[in-house]
């Protein structure tokens, strides 16, 4: 097998240190020598490693994406060395040879023959944006779980407030909970805190607010509400910071929000995860494959064993799932019609993945061409094949017992 890199390096990284294998030509023709050394994971040790590798005149440095431990090494070495981050699934060692030293040597050998594909590592501005959007997603999830804990805890007091209100943190329900904490127990008085559209539900609220709420419940509810407020404050701060960091990408965000179902929050995640620079992905199909929203390929002996989607960027897939569900519920759009057509044949889960694929494909073309989304319309399939639409309508009428004769409309 041809040698692509005469001097290659494989790095197996752990939390405390890294095994570094330098593969270089030996004394004899066609001979290569592998030397493995151990380096600490602190910044000073990594800086020393960078100087060492520069002296070796290596042409490629390969490391596995091991948890988050690769980041200190990659971010220091990328400035002056040709660093490649690879998926651990693509660089599995042979069975029975699993040690840190052998893994480093195996990576160096694969790198020398050019048998590894680099993972996408965005530039620093996008990495900062990723940190912000992912932190916001975590904070939103934590806040949702805290609200769920509050709802479950209220059940122990006999209050069924969540059965009447749709949001326990809304203005009406929050005022009622604050009054309960301060000592008010009369359901008639508590129900009067209802505002606006909740006013007609006062009789139901009186019934739902009758329970055995005690000082113990007041103490725990206060803790839950304070935690919810802390998460809300963090979300607001992150959103404000994202708005500042997003300044160079505002045209891309505005374009993405023209897609049905893609909100500003979803657009932020798409830009943060893909980098908004589609030159990294040669085609829209490459982007969909990287994100894990297209059918997998598992064929042997001419038989397709599975078309299950492959693992992809989980943060991007989560945002696309939200956008796809929103687009499916939209009115008179191409995406909603496409969802219904696929869901009728393949089920709702596959239909959602298909809409995610359409959204991501549109994203690639929009960011490459600098365009906004142009919806084909809810009548896209009717216009594409009118004869098929007519035949389908006739079949449906015939199945209902009607004999229909069609007469062309006057021009």
Q: DSSP for 208-275?
A: HT-S---HHHHHHHHHHHHHHHHHHHHHHHHHHHHHHHTGGGHHHHHHHTTSTT--HHHHHHHHHHH-
- pLDDT computed for residue 390 by the predictor: 83
If pLDDT is split at 50, 70 and 90, which confidence band does 264 have? very high
Question: pLDDT digits over 269-288, tens only?
Answer: 999 999 888 988 999 999 99
In whole numbers, what is the pLDDT of the chain averaged over residues? 89
Question: pLDDT digits over 351-399, tens only?
Answer: 999 999 999 999 999 999 988 898 898 888 888 888 888 888 888 888 8
Please determine, looking at this structure, whether the domain spanning 8-112 carries the CATH number 3.30.420.10: yes
The C-alpha atoms of residue 243 and residue 285 are separated, in whole angstroms, by 30
Does the pLDDT value for residue 307 go beyond 80? no
Question: pLDDT digits over 392-405, tens only?
Answer: 888 888 888 888 78
Contact assessment for residue 51 and residue 135, using Cβ atoms and an 8 Å cutoff: no
Sketch the domain layout of the chain as residue ranges.
8-112, 125-245, 249-298+308-369
The C-alpha atoms of residue 210 and residue 152 are separated, in whole angstroms, by 16
- pLDDT computed for residue 94 by the predictor: 65
- What's the predicted TM-score (pTM) here? 0.85
What dihedral angle (degrees, nearest 10) is formed by the CA atoms of 136, 140, 143, 148?
A: -160
- Structure-block tokens of residue 22: 């330098």
Does the pLDDT value for residue 29 go beyond 70? yes
Question: pLDDT digits over 11-23, tens only?
Answer: 999 899 999 999 9
- pLDDT computed for residue 385 by the predictor: 83
What's the mean pLDDT in 128-152?
95
**Longest Cα separation, the chain:** 94
Does the pLDDT value for residue 306 go beyond 80? no
- Structure-block tokens of residue 116: 């590894």
The C-alpha atoms of residue 243 and residue 253 are separated, in whole angstroms, by 11
What's the mean pLDDT in 22-41?
86
| H or E stretch at 9 | strand 8-13
What's the mean pLDDT in 253-261?
93
Q: Name the nearest CA neighbour of 278 among 308, 246, 310, 256.
A: 256
Residue 272 CB neighbours (<10 A): 27
| Own/partner long-range contacts of 282-285 (Cβ < 8 Å, ≥24 apart) | 283/364, 284/360, 284/361, 284/364, 284/365
Question: pLDDT digits over 147-183, tens only?
Answer: 999 999 999 999 999 999 989 999 999 999 999 999 9
The C-alpha atoms of residue 38 and residue 363 are separated, in whole angstroms, by 44
Question: pLDDT digits over 94-128, tens only?
Answer: 666 678 888 888 898 888 888 888 888 888 999 99
If pLDDT is split at 50, 70 and 90, which confidence band does 411 have? low
The C-alpha atoms of residue 350 and residue 393 are separated, in whole angstroms, by 26
């Amino acid at each position: 097998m041809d040698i692509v890199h005469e001097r290659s390096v494989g790095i197996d990284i752990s939390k405390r240190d890294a095994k570094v294998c330098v593969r270089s030509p030996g004394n004899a023709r066609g001979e290569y020598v592998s030397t493995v050394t151990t380096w600490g994971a602190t910044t000073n040790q990594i800086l020393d490693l960078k100087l060492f590798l520069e002296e070796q005149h290596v042409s490629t440095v390969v490391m596995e994406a091991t948890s988050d431990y690769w980041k200190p090494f990659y971010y220091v070495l990328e400035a002056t060395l040709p660093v490649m981050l690879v998926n651990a699934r693509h660089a599995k060692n042979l069975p029975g040879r699993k040690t840190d030293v052998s893994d480093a040597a195996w990576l160096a050998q694969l790198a020398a023959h050019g048998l590894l594909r680099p993972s996408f590592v965005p530039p620093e501005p996008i990495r900062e944006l990723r940190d912000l959007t992912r932190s916001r997603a975590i904070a939103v999830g934590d806040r949702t779980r805290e609200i769920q804990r509050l709802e479950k805890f209220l059940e122990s007091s006999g209050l069924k407030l969540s059965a009447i209100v749709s949001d326990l943190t809304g203005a009406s329900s929050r005022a009622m909970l604050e009054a309960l904490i301060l000592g008010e127990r009369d359901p008639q008085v508590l129900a009067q805190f209802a505002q606006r559209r909740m006013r007609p539900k006062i009789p139901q609220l009186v019934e739902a607010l009758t329970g055995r709420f005690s000082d113990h419940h007041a103490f725990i509810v206060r803790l839950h509400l304070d935690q919810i407020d802390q998460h809300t404050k963090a979300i607001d701060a992150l959103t404000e910071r994202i708005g500042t960091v997003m300044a160079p990408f505002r045209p891309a965000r505005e374009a993405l929000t023209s897609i049905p179902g893609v909100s500003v929050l979803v657009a932020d995640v798409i830009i943060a995860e893909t980098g908004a620079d589609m030159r990294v992905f040669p085609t829209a199909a490459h982007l969909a494959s990287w994100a894990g929203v297209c059918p997998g390929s598992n064929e042997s002996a001419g038989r397709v064993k599975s078309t299950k989607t492959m693992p992809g960027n989980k943060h991007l897939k989560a945002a696309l799932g939200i956008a796809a569900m929103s687009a499916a519920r939209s009115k008179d759009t191409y995406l909603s019609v496409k969802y219904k057509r696929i869901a009728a044949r393949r089920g709702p889960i596959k239909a959602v993945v298909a809409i995610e694929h359409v959204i991501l494909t549109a994203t690639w073309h929009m960011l490459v061409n600098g365009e906004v989304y142009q919806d084909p319309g809810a009548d896209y399939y009717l216009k594409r094949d009118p004869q098929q639409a007519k035949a389908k309508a006739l079949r449906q009428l015939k199945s209902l017992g009607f004999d229909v004769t069609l007469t062309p409309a006057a021009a």
